[in-house]
Chains A and B, each alone.
Chain A
């Protein structure tokens, strides 16, 4: 009963070592690359499901930032008279709210990603890093919709950004990296301590006031600005405002501090997530 004649040649097959977890930076980027299509599929699924059977659907991507912008314009702008450096308040706030809302949503999704997929993680193998990564991508679609609205608004307020607007992808990338970095920490923790996900809304709320969303970074005294810049979103928001409105200083030191912070958080997040992968599999 031998099937030797039908043997599949064992050349070019991957050899996998299954061992107890070791080390912190046990990265396997090659393997992760093999699963890149899975990221695409998860993102595709999230977007499809989000917009199926919804009445508001795409409109929510516009309503949320615009409504918040109106409230901010009224209370922080008109009533509290926060200085906006000559930029009309709606533009001032919307240019910050768009990346901020993306970040808040992406962070919450990333935090929940591992636990939400527990039924899949316990049945199939794929690098778990795929989950938080694919969680931070769908929000970009909402961002894009809001961005289009923003661009349509700009002629009304006679705001003409310079060439700097072409740099906005850099700041967007920074926002994605921040959401991913923090999301990696929180998603791993959430798998182990299930109440972490409830901490996120509070964290985001607090973080928003620590970032130049409702006010400009110029309110912070110059010598503290680099400390302020350790908040990665500070660099993102300031950078966005500058790129989209063309007003204000290009954020130099602030941005450098933010970028450095993002790199640290992201690297740390990847390492922590990898280290916890073994534990996650057992407790999720």
Chain B
């Protein structure tokens, strides 16, 4: 059992809204002070200048522990408090309430290129940035060659930084930061910048760091990166802890919240504004013939689309896409390419049933998108309108279930075992 290296208890951070006003000037304060007696004689106004609440809690009553070696992903919507939490842990700002105890040296990677000065050369900036990030001079000297090699700017290391392209600057900055060797590393969205190759390199390096047993706290919106790197997760919502635990569970909770599951099995759709052609009125899911939004792997699933049109239509073209909560497109089909039945006579309303048969989807949350049209160019398209969950079912009856993390479809495959055939050609 690893030791707890970060213990956070009842952490809270309150910001005064007035503080957000930048560049308070002393003369404003003095002017306000001088005019205060005058204001007393005027009509009573609320004491705060704009009448709104003057405080917001960016974090409230946050408590959690992090063990050594964990890679913790902190996720949540914008404004949930993720960066504030990281700033408090990095000691950049102080909490208003509660406290945190941290065991180990902390390195923070909240931005790439902290401390870089454009007039100095790359070499000088490596030393400067390294020192700011917490490395000692001897440490930087020892790792200098490695850092330069990682950044791939050897030829330019003695040119002033202002002549570097932004990509080169970023590579150099990350190279310095990647060679920090703190016990705990705090990383905030730095992977949001840079090209794909750079992001891959960063992820790889962070993976290496985590393999050495270091603890990493990682804030990101990139669910793919979070899922790959992190072992546990913390979901923040409006400054409070909404979920914690294994990273998959936390991501699912987050995605569910984001997609604002109504989880109804019938969804009525508003009429699209633009065309008066054919449109969908409602869509629903049927599981084993019954409207349901929870099913098990192997159940018979069908989708029902009710449509209406201004002009009579004989063969409406309908399509659907099932997407997992992790963003993977699982299954899609439409009747444009398939021969299928059509109405015997043109109609102005009707119901189309898409029968998927035995559901090969593995356990998880899914959403369904639909489109309907007369011709392929004018479509009524609704995205992620239906949500349903699939639960594990022991479809083979041996009490063991496959893990779902590899793919969301389990494809029925027939495995046969046979002996080696003799080759006819020697």
The answer to whether A and B come from one shared complex is: yes
List residues of chain A with CB within 8 A of the CB of B100. 17-18
CB contacts under 8 Å to B, within A180-203, are 189, 192-196, 199
B291 CB to closest chain A CB, in angstroms? 41
A194 to B22, CA, bound (A): 9
Residue contact A14 to B101, C-beta cutoff 8 Å? no
CB contacts under 8 Å to A, within B82-99, are 87-99
Residue contact B25 to A195, C-beta cutoff 8 Å? yes
Residue contact B213 to A16, C-beta cutoff 8 Å? no
From A10, A18, A195, contact of B99 by CB (8 A): A18
User: B136 an interface residue at 8 Å Cβ cutoff?
Assistant: yes
Residue contact B104 to A10, C-beta cutoff 8 Å? yes
Residue contact B97 to A15, C-beta cutoff 8 Å? no
List residues of chain A with CB within 8 A of the CB of B23. 194
- Interface size bracket, B side: 35 or more
B393 CB to closest chain A CB, in angstroms? 27
B107 CB to closest chain A CB, in angstroms? 9
Residue contact A6 to B25, C-beta cutoff 8 Å? no
Given contacts A6-B211, A8-B68, A125-B90, contact A41 B119 (CB under 8 A): no
Write the B219-244 contact mask toward A (1 if CB under 8 angstroms, else 0).
00000000000010000000000000
A3 to B211, CA, bound (A): 7
A21 to B102, CA, bound (A): 17
User: B111 an interface residue at 8 Å Cβ cutoff?
Assistant: yes
From A189, A192, A281, contact of B94 by CB (8 A): A281
Question: What total of chain A residues lie within 8 Å of the partner, measured CB to CB?
Answer: 46
Report the nearest A residue to B181, measured CB to CB: A8
List residues of chain A with CB within 8 A of the CB of B131. 37-38, 41
CB contacts under 8 Å to A, within B48-93, are 68-69, 87-93
User: A20 an interface residue at 8 Å Cβ cutoff?
Assistant: yes
A1 to B15, CA, bound (A): 40
A121 to B90, CA, bound (A): 11
List residues of chain A with CB within 8 A of the CB of B189. none
List residues of chain B with CB within 8 A of the CB of A123. 92, 108, 110-111, 114
A125 to B133, CA, bound (A): 8
User: Which of A47-55, A222-230, A243-251 contacts its partner?
Assistant: A47-55
A41 to B127, CA, bound (A): 8
A45 to B115, CA, bound (A): 10
CB contacts under 8 Å to B, within A232-284, are 277-278, 281-283
CB contacts under 8 Å to A, within B105-141, are 105-106, 108, 110-111, 114-115, 117, 119-120, 124, 127-128, 131-134, 136-137
User: B183 an interface residue at 8 Å Cβ cutoff?
Assistant: yes
Given contacts A48-B120, A123-B92, contact A15 B132 (CB under 8 A): no
A283 to B132, CA, bound (A): 21
Given contacts A18-B88, A18-B101, A123-B114, contact A7 B69 (CB under 8 A): yes
Residue contact B94 to A41, C-beta cutoff 8 Å? no
CB contacts under 8 Å to B, within A194-214, are 194-196, 199
List residues of chain B with CB within 8 A of the CB of A16. 91, 101-103, 106
From B134, B136, B213, contact of A8 by CB (8 A): B213
B20 CB to closest chain A CB, in angstroms? 9
A17 to B132, CA, bound (A): 21
Report the nearest A residue to B110, measured CB to CB: A123
User: A120 an interface residue at 8 Å Cβ cutoff?
Assistant: yes
From B87, B104, B115, B213, contact of A14 by CB (8 A): B104
List residues of chain A with CB within 8 A of the CB of B47. none
Report the nearest A residue to B91, measured CB to CB: A125
List residues of chain A with CB within 8 A of the CB of B102. 15-16, 18
CB contacts under 8 Å to B, within A1-52, are 1-4, 6-8, 10, 13-21, 37-38, 40-41, 45, 48-49, 52
From B29, B105, B213, contact of A6 by CB (8 A): B213
Given contacts A6-B213, A18-B89, A48-B120, contact A120 B2 (CB under 8 A): no
List residues of chain A with CB within 8 A of the CB of B419. none
List residues of chain B with CB within 8 A of the CB of A6. 69, 211-213
Residue contact A7 to B103, C-beta cutoff 8 Å? no
List residues of chain A with CB within 8 A of the CB of B90. 124-125
Residue contact B24 to A193, C-beta cutoff 8 Å? yes
List residues of chain A with CB within 8 A of the CB of B29. 193
Residue contact B26 to A193, C-beta cutoff 8 Å? yes
Query: What are the 10 closest A-B residue pairs judged by CB atoms, nearest first?
Result: A6-B213, A125-B91, A18-B100, A41-B131, A193-B26, A278-B94, A281-B93, A19-B99, A195-B25, A194-B23
A-binding residues in B (CB < 8 A): 2-3, 5, 15, 19, 22-27, 29, 68-69, 87-106, 108, 110-111, 114-115, 117, 119-120, 124, 127-128, 131-134, 136-137, 183, 210-214, 231
6 more CB-based (< 8 A) A-B contacts, given A3-B210, A15-B103, A283-B24 = A6-B213, A7-B69, A19-B99, A124-B92, A125-B92, A194-B23
